[in-house]
Structure 1
Amino acid sequence: MRAPIGDFDTATPAPECLEELTAPVADALRQWQGGVTADQIVYVDTDPRWADTAVFVEHYGRELLERSANCVVVAGKRGAATTLAACVVLSTTRVDVNGVVRRQLGARKASFASLETATGETGMEYGGITPIGLPTGWPLLVDSAVVDLDYVLVGSGRRRGKLLVPGKAFAELPGVAVLDGLGVA
């Protein structure tokens, strides 16, 4: 199979290589429902040495810069309550934590979750967190620009490997809110 975007040596429908994914991501793909089928999600094997976006696009294709998204875990606080959520924005932007995220979560204060919290709560590796397979009940905030792309490169749950996901699939994920302006320059 040829990858729909990028220049990768191997590309496989994600349901055919669940052993390459973390347990939460593999479980989410096994239970996948929606207009986009699970076999439209493609796993590409990548070298973890090239995980950082700038190095990654130099190796796997410059066009990926405009088609890559980052998934980050945030913590919204209001009083003693903390709400963990995931945010997905294009890699050419940053998450508007103090504006859009804070308002969407109804939080008084919002910040990026610590590495320990992000990896411990998601069961995924730092640098590979993906919106597929997040903990049940988590809000998922996705920038509308991500949904508008035909395919988007995101983490696979591990630093090794990435997922190529049809943009419209993000709008079908559990707990999702598609928002304009979540990613800012």
Structure 2
Amino acid sequence: MTGSLDWTAAVERADLLAAPVADAIAGVPDARAAEIDPELADTAAFCERYEVPLEASANCVVVAAKRGGEVSYLACMILATDRVDVNGVVRKHLGARKASFAPMAEAISLTGMEYGGITPVGLPAGWPILVDEAVAAAPEVVIGSGLRRSKLLVPGKALAALPGAEVLALAQT
């Protein structure tokens, strides 16, 4: 499940974490980090090269929700084999008029993380984190580290325990 990577305790490898992730990683029990080729950060290429099954990899999607002229942001964690139901489950859960994937420039600017490495660990205070049930139930999942040149391996239950996290059925059916 952990593939061909050399995993090390994440708290000992702040050099492999974006600054906001490094600041928050102590709150994620058993998190481990591994260095990767940044050209292989995208999920499919990463899983193939490092022998990590897609179902053991989870993606963090930043969503912009609009309601009454106000825009709020949140993160959704979904297995790499699934798609987030942004216009159904997420929009309805938030009571938003409109929900969509946040533009790349906004996601980077707001999170302080690199696109392709955005992770729920270290997101801005107050951001909701919607964790799909399958992610929360996974013994371990590979997620971003905030940088394209590394990944984190964390228990699904640790993601469900992040500040602002809520477990829901997010996958499109």
Tell me, yes or no, whether TM beats 0.5.
yes
- Residues 7-29 of structure 1: per-residue CA shift (max 9 Å, x gap): 11x21100001122111000001
C-alpha contact (below 8 Å) 2:140/2:156 kept by paired residues: yes
Q: CA deviation at 1:85?
A: 0.3
Aligned equivalent of 1:125: 114
How many residues matched? Answer: 173
Query: Distance in 2 between the 1:59 and 1:133 partners?
Result: 27
What is the TM-score when the length of structure 1 is the normalising length?
Answer: 0.90
Q: Does residue 4 of structure 2 align to residue 7 of structure 1? A: yes
Q: Does residue 74 of structure 2 align to residue 85 of structure 1? A: yes
C-alpha contact (below 8 Å) 1:93/1:183 kept by paired residues: yes
SS at match of 2:8: strand
Query: Distance in 2 between the 1:144 and 1:6 partners?
Result: 23
Q: Which of 48, 52, 66 is residue 58 of structure 1 equivalent to?
A: 48
Sequence identity of aligned pairs in percent? 57
Q: CA deviation at 1:64?
A: 2.3
Query: Distance in 1 between the 2:17 and 2:43 partners?
Result: 20
Q: Which ranges in structure 2 are unaligned for 5 or more consecutive residues? A: none
Aligned equivalent of 1:106: 95
SS at match of 1:183: coil
Q: Does residue 33 of structure 2 align to residue 43 of structure 1? A: yes
Aligned equivalent of 2:58: 69
C-alpha contact (below 8 Å) 2:64/2:101 kept by paired residues: yes
Query: Distance in 2 between the 1:125 and 1:52 partners?
Result: 12
Q: CA deviation at 1:106?
A: 1.2
- Residues 53-82 of structure 1: per-residue CA shift (max 9 Å, x gap): 222122111x42111010010011012111
Q: Does residue 168 of structure 2 align to residue 184 of structure 1? A: no
Q: Does residue 133 of structure 2 align to residue 144 of structure 1? A: yes
Q: CA deviation at 1:48?
A: 1.0
Q: CA deviation at 1:93?
A: 0.9
Q: Which ranges in structure 1 are unaligned for 5 or more consecutive residues? A: none
C-alpha contact (below 8 Å) 1:128/1:159 kept by paired residues: yes
Aligned equivalent of 1:158: 147
C-alpha contact (below 8 Å) 2:16/2:34 kept by paired residues: no
C-alpha contact (below 8 Å) 1:140/1:175 kept by paired residues: yes
Aligned equivalent of 1:16: 12
What is the TM-score when the length of structure 2 is the normalising length?
Answer: 0.96
C-alpha contact (below 8 Å) 1:69/1:153 kept by paired residues: yes
Structure 2 letter corresponding to 1:60? Y
Query: Distance in 1 between the 2:38 and 2:53 partners?
Result: 16
Query: Distance in 1 between the 2:139 and 2:59 partners?
Result: 16
